[in-house]
Amino acid sequence: MVVPEETQRGNLKVYLGYAAGVGKTFQMLEDARAAAQRGVDVVVGYFEPHARPDTIAQVEGLEVVPHRKLVYRGRTFEEMDTDAVLQRRPRIALVDELAHTNIPGSQRPKRWEDVQVLLDTGIEVWTTMNVQHIESLNDQIWQITGVRVRETVPDWVIQQATEIVAVDVTPEALLNRLKRGAIYRPEVVQKALTGFFKGSNLGALRELTLRQAAHEVDLRKSAYDETSRIQVPRISEPRVGEAGAAQSKERILIHITADSSTAMLIRRGRRVADFLHADCLALFVHRTTDLSDLTPTEREAVEKHLRFARSLRIETQILAGRDVPRTVVDFARQSQVSQIFVARSKGRLRERLLGTSHAEDIVRIAHDLQVTVVADRSRRQTS
């Protein structure tokens, strides 16, 4: 396929791992060296300067675009110099650590946003990230590890990747690397071993990574099949809309409230919608649409949740209604929603006595719709 170069967006390739030290950067650099040997114009756009020695050795022979140095609170930090990469205009730029948050004062808050700029000008980008940085997995990661990951990448950024590569290593090998001091400085190792690097954590994160990678491969297969109309025998059943199985597309509605569980609800709704190839929308219902009679705290929370939903590319809406559950269900019916996502009510007993549990009321009213009461993954199982 020949497309004029100006109009074509750059490809994105993501090396996906499950923890620090699995070898994402190493493999990316190894592939880059192979590409350079074939004569491909590849440069290193950003590379972690504190990398491990064997990884640093891999950079040798590759062209590195000098980093931008920024002083913040008296310390010097290095960031990718996006403008310099744009000026250099390579065919492929390597950008380590996609989930990184730039130092205040940078042009854009997040590195994945810098990467968008490169892609927009047609530069192909290869990057690295760990599964725990995928936004919609944030609560599950917390459940597994007890760590709330702050630096996340919206799922749509990863979905636009043309290629995902799972970088796999066994937890045993990873722990050996850790103990040899090949990943962290010795003083951090012990803490890592009892924290994030616990055996069961690593196994669970690894399984999650492999399943995510399989899902990403599956998405790309479906995209290919839709455009090419070539029949390839598949391991899974034909999906909705394909040959004969003409079911209508699912639509998922997320009920937004001021409650802090809403963030978890949004992530879960987004994830399920992606897997089911469903549309996803979000709704907030209040007496008035201008939110002026909410307390400042509530209002701030609602606005935060609406912004968060939009950042994950979920269409949001605010409706006026005195009877919240009724308004949500009516809206769902009018908008051909097939599934409503609601959060489990928190102060259960009190709410039940007062009859104010929206989740349960929605379940009661919406006999003709599917209602999913989402688990509170923001709380960990007690062990």
Partner 1 sequence: MRVSELSRPSPERLLKQVQAGESKRWGAKLKIFLGYAPGVGKSYRMLDEARRRFERGEDVVVGAVQGQQSEDVQALLRKLEVIPPPQTPEGQAIDLDAILRRAPHVCVIDPLAARNPSGSRHPCRWQDAQELLRNGISVLTSVNLLHVEEYKEKVQAITGKDTAESIPKAFLLAADEIVIVDVPTDLCLWRLGEKLTSIGISNYQERQLSELRELALLLTAEVVDAQLESYVHTHGIEPVFGTQERFLVCITPNSNALAMIESGKRNKERFQGELYVVYVRQRDGSGDKNAAIEAHLEAARNADATIEVLESDDPIQAISEFAHEKRVTQIFVGHGSHENWRDRLFGNPVLRLIRAAEGMDVRVFPH
- Binding residues among 198-257 for partner 1 as defined by CB under 8 A: 199-200, 203-204, 206-208, 210-211, 213-215, 217-218, 220-221, 223-225, 228, 230, 232-237, 239-240
**Which stretch, 61-69, 76-84, 101-109, 369-377, contacts partner 1 (CB under 8 A)?**
369-377
Q: Which of residues 25-84 bind partner 1 (CB under 8 A)?
A: 31, 38
Is residue 122 a contact point for partner 1 (CB under 8 A)? no
- Report how far Cα 157 is from the mean position of its chain's Cα atoms: 7
Element at 31 (helix H, strand E): helix 24-37
Inter-residue contact 128 to 96 (CB < 8 Å): yes
| Closer of 277 and 350 to partner 1 (Cβ) | 277
Is residue 370 a contact point for partner 1 (CB under 8 A)? yes
Q: Least CB distance from residue 2 to partner 1, whole Å? A: 11
Site string for partner 1, 74-113 (x = CB under 8 A): ----------------------------------------
**Which stretch, 146-154, 304-312, 316-324, 370-378, contacts partner 1 (CB under 8 A)?**
370-378
Quote the CA–CA distance of 62 and 43 in Å, as a whole number: 6
Site string for partner 1, 263-302 (x = CB under 8 A): -----x------xxx-------------------------
Among 167, 254, 266, 314, binds partner 1 (CB under 8 A): 167
Quote the CA–CA distance of 137 and 360 in Å, as a whole number: 26
| Closer of 76 and 228 to partner 1 (Cβ) | 228
| Closer of 288 and 335 to partner 1 (Cβ) | 335
Quote the CA–CA distance of 151 and 143 in Å, as a whole number: 17
Q: Is 356 exposed, middle or buried (0-12, 13-18, 19+ CB in 10 A)?
A: middle
Is residue 333 a contact point for partner 1 (CB under 8 A)? no
Q: Least CB distance from residue 369 to partner 1, whole Å? A: 6
Is residue 182 a contact point for partner 1 (CB under 8 A)? no
